[in-house]
Amino acid sequence: MTTAAHFTAALRDRQRLIGYWSLLDSPVAAERLARVGYDYLAFDAQHGLFGYQGLLNNLIATDTRGSTAVGMVRVEANDPTYIGRALDAGATAVIVPLVDTARDAADAVAAVRYPPHGRRSYGPMRAQLRIGPAPADTHEQTAVLAMIETADGLANVEEICATPGLDGIYVGPSDLRLAIGGKTSTDPDVAEEFERALTRIRKAAEAAGIAAGIHNGDGASAARRLSEGFTFASVAADVVHLQQAAAAHLDAAREEDGK
């Protein structure tokens, strides 16, 4: 099983990591996905279908025998309560959405670190079994990532990346495309501007020596972004892939039946 310390060290070292994104509250699915070979499973508490108990159950399931993955959580908001609960439940890393400024990034870092380096309240109910539990060890093993997905976040990306204690940034491509003027989250009319934005974000992270991650709809897209210089990439997402796989099998069955 991949340990939190190993994962976080690799992330901070800007090694290539690949994860899978989960929207469904299904610990049985998480248990199976954790054995596939991904470096992390990211559970989406912002837009996914998780309550706190579901988040806890899926993080526990990720630690199954034969798992290659650690658990990551995109929290609901840049709030110490949400961040602390995800970490106490056993998340190795948190992705913090809607980071617009370096101050926002500093607030996220503070919510992840115990005093005197931050303001996380001490009570790692489940986390103490596998992360830490001493504050210094917890800091070494736990990562905080800021999402770049807004016009302000893009404008301030260099300052955000330079925030002390920030381990990396994570691009939310749907919101970012809307932020630069896209009519939809996949609007091809802003493709060139979108690619320029990604280059700027990637270079800002590289200059600051922190990890640069991005959300992707499929493995081929993740491979492309990694080849461009992103250091970690998520393949998304279980609910979409379930529907796609079911539809493909239905089409195949109908084709065979019609012969």
User: Considering only CA atoms, which of 76, 232, 70 is closest in space to residue 167?
Assistant: 232
Q: Show the 3-state SS of the chain.
A: CCCHHHHHHHHHCCCCEEEEEECCCCHHHHHHHCCCCCCEEEEECCCCCCCHHHHHHHHHHHCCCCCCCEEEEECCCCCHHHHHHHHHCCCCEEEECCCCCHHHHHHHHHHHCCCCCCCCCCCCCCHHHCCCCCHHHHHHHCEEEEEECCHHHHHCHHHHHCCCCCCEEEECHHHHHHHCCCCCCCCHHHHHHHHHHHHHHHHHHHHHCCEEEEEECCHHHHHHHHHHCCCEEEECCHHHHHHHHHHHHHHHHHHHHCC
Q: Which of 6, 47, 117, 139 is catalytic?
A: 47
Residue 215: count other Cβ atoms within 10 Å of its Cβ: 27
Tell me if residue 47 is catalytic: yes
Positions marked catalytic: 47
